[in-house]
Amino acid sequence: MKKIFTLTLALLITCQTCALAKSLGEVDKRVDELKKFYSLEEHVEGGYFSEVYTSPFVQNNRATAGSIYFMLVKKDISHFHKIDCDEIWYYQEGGGLKITLIDNGEVKEVLLGKDTKKNQQFMAVIPADTIFAAENIDKQNFTFVSCVTTPKFKYEYFQLITKDELKKLYPKIPEKILRLAYEKIPQITAEVSK
């Protein structure tokens, strides 16, 4: 009886391991498909993006809106940053994101995804000049979103926020939040559009 139990347990573990490996293989395959189809490139904040729309309407020498596709894969982090325009994130597919926002020292979290039973939303609005970061809820999965900014995003108004900067701004911020910030600003290796 003990041998049968041991063999059954071994088969069960093997089956679960195979199912997980197949699932992870499917995640990797889908990520590769999305990167190729949408020409996604690495973003300095973390993750992958491609610019897809610029409004033809201009106000104060700036397009009134712009849009990108954006994807985080597994343990990727969209590190803490802020921009000078409102940004709206729309969930498209994948495991869902946790967006952490810091507004005047108050930390808020928004869950972006399709599981309304877990309080996930299909859309999240990030007000201009809010410090925010994002990460996958399921670290073995990916999340693919669309983002719209108004006015159009410009790199000259984009600011990565380091751990030291956050500590100076908000001395009591917990370590679990600080982990979403870069220690040092990475070098930008690719030319970015302005």
Per-residue tokens: 104: 């005047």
Burial of 71 (0-12, 13-18, 19+ CB in 10 A): buried
| Bridge-based pairing state of the strands 131-136 and 77-82 | antiparallel
Question: How much is the pLDDT for 188?
Answer: 61
For 24, residues 6+ apart whose C-beta sits below 8 A from its C-beta are 140
- The closest of 75, 69, 144, 147 to 113, measured between CA atoms, is 144
Beta bridge partners of 90: 123, 146
Q: Which residues of the chain have pLDDT under 70?
A: 1-24, 188-194
Q: The sheet that has 66-73: what strands, in order across it? A: 41-42, 48-54, 66-73, 142-150, 86-94, 123-126
- CA angle, residues 122, 126, 129, in degrees to nearest 5: 170
Per residue in 64-82, pLDDT (tens digit) is 999 999 999 999 999 999 9
- The closest of 88, 81, 89, 80 to 176, measured between CA atoms, is 80
| Bridge-based pairing state of the strands 123-126 and 86-94 | antiparallel
Question: How much is the pLDDT for 9?
Answer: 43
Q: Give the CATH class of 38-178.
A: mainly beta
Domain ranges of the chain: 38-178
- pTM of this prediction? 0.84
Per-residue tokens: 179: 């982990």
Q: How many angstroms separate the CA atoms of 139 and 192, rounded?
A: 28
